[in-house]
């Protein structure tokens, strides 16, 4: 091994042999465990035939298992001949001892399906309001993976199978046409919306909807069959399961923890799509629908936000990344091909503040119009200019801008002039004396039309 350490090729071969030995050890252990479980099962069957109660069966099986565990590994506790039992200050842990020494863990790098955006072997959340094109974006990523095409930012792609669970979209007129329009290979994408089941009472075989709470074993089997590197769940609410409440942290973790383990075992990227909640929050990690446990289990989270100046554009940004430096935002536009099938046209990097865009999306149409005008202006605007450019009544604009100033939705770099927070025209700190004019004490303005969800 000393010579192997000096020769890179021999060192690589030694590491490979060591990994193979550990894998063989794990396989043997798994086989022995299955054999023992089968033996316990036969004991339970015989006890039931003899009329034993379930409580008695469980007591006996637990006793057998404890006896087996200690007798099978008794050799680990017997000292070598001529050596006192307490001569080893730090005895090796037996195979059945709980926990793993970090010295036994093989150090690995994080592997990526899409660098800094979608890691392999981990859960990623993709979220946004309805109508932002989240499903279309997921299909675009699936198309890249199915053919090994470069990712949208031109980073090298990874070719492999894709498993898509999307019960809310039609396969024939929505999913497949979109995949083909994006240049994907349909033969590499498995749609797993339903699974075959058997009703013993009615003696009937039927198809039922896929459920994360019951079907992880079936999902893992399909991942191996397809050699999949990407699983897409779209949307989360449609695949959780009947008895799972996404707002309850305990329910969410009972599903997501085993799902995270599945991703790690298979090395497959899990991409989950969910909607944002209607309740606004300055922290985007709290905007997703459901329990905070969902975003907690995910190692990376992406969000789709509306572009501030173009209704046809979207911005893809990162809101959480526990694995690397955060990626830059990317803008895209939704286009249609000659037969009316939508596809994504990537527009390159974008540097807008996505946090402000998502929060502002919940504002009234009047406030959004004011923000668009201020954002597109080269410099700060007076109230009359804002009213002229938005086509709104001057008095109403005046009252609305004062309230937006008080809510810190806009800034006033000089008395009587207004712009958006963080606008390039702001070159020096804002004078706090100009922060909120006296007019903010006026009565609440007339109703503002809400943006449909």
| CATH for the stretch 112-353 | 3.40.50.300
Q: What is the pLDDT of residues 114-127, one digit of tens each?
A: 999 999 999 999 99
Residue 240 in contact with residue 289, Cβ under 8 Å? no
| pLDDT for position 219 | 96
H/E segment holding residue 223: helix 216-226
C-alpha–C-alpha distance, residues 323 and 124, integer Å: 11
What is the rounded radius of gyration, in angstroms, for the C-alpha atoms of the chain?
A: 29
What pLDDT score was predicted for residue 431? 46
**Locate tokens 């974006």: which residue?**
137
pLDDT of residue 406: 84
pTM: 0.65
Quick one: which of 443, 313, 153, 67 has its CA closest to 144? 153
Q: How many residues does the chain have?
A: 453
Sites in the chain below the pLDDT cut of 70 = 1-6, 70-97, 278-283, 286-287, 356-357, 359-364, 422, 427-453
CB 162, CB 190: distance < 8 Å: yes
pLDDT of residue 450: 35
Most distant pair of Cα atoms in the chain: their distance: 98
| CATH fold for domain 363-441 | Arc Repressor Mutant, subunit A (1.10.10)
The CB-side HSE value for 88 (13 A sphere, CA atoms) comes to 11
């Amino acid at each position: 091994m000393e010579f192997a350490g000096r020769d890179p090729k021999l060192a690589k071969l030694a590491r490979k042999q060591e990994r193979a030995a550990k894998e063989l050890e794990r396989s043997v252990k798994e086989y022995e465990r299955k054999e023992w479980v089968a033996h316990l099962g036969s004991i339970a069957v015989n006890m039931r035939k003899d009329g034993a109660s379930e409580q008695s069966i469980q007591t006996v099986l637990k006793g057998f298992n404890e006896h087996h565990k200690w007798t099978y590994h008794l050799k680990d506790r017997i000292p070598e001949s001529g050596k006192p039992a307490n001569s080893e200050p730090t005895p090796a842990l037996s195979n059945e001892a709980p926990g793993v020494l970090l010295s036994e863990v093989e150090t690995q790098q994080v592997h990526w399906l899409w660098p800094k955006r979608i890691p392999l072997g981990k859960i990623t959340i993709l979220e946004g309001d309805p109508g932002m094109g989240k499903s279309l974006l997921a299909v675009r990523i699936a198309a890249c993976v199915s053919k090994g095409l470069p990712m949208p930012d031109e980073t090298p792609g990874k070719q492999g199978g894709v498993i898509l669970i999307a019960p809310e979209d039609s396969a024939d007129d929505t999913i497949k046409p979109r995949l083909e329009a994006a240049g994907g290979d349909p033969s590499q994408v498995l749609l797993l919306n339903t699974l075959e089941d058997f009703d013993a009472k009615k003696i009937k075989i039927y198809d039922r909807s896929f459920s994360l709470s019951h079907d992880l074993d079936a999902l893992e089997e399909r991942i191996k069959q397809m050699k999949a590197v990407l699983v897409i769940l779209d949307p989360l609410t449609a695949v959780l399961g009947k008895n799972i409440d996404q707002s309850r942290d305990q329910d969410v973790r009972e599903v997501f923890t085993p799902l995270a383990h599945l991703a790690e075992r298979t090395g497959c990227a899990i991409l989950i799509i969910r909607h944002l909640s209607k309740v606004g929050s300055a922290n985007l990690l709290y905007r997703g629908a459901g329990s905070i446990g969902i975003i907690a289990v995910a190692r990376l989270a992406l969000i789709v936000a509306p572009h501030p100046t173009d209704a046809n554009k979207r911005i893809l940004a990162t809101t959480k990344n526990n694995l690397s430096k955060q990626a830059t935002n990317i803008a895209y536009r939704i286009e249609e091909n000659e037969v009316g099938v939508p596809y994504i046209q990537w527009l390159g990097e974008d540097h807008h503040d996505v946090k402000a865009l998502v929060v502002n999306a919940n504002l009234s149409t009047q406030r959004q119009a004011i923000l668009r005008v201020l954002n597109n202006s080269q410099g700060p605007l007076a109230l009359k200019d804002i009213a002229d450019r938005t086509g709104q009544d001057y008095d109403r604009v005046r009252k609305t801008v004062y309230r937006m100033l008080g809510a810190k939705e806009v800034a006033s770099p000089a008395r009587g002039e207004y712009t958006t927070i963080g606008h390039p025209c702001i070159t020096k700190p804002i004078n706090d004396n100009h922060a909120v004019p006296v007019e903010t004490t006026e009565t609440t303005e007339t109703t503002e039309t809400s943006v449909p969800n």
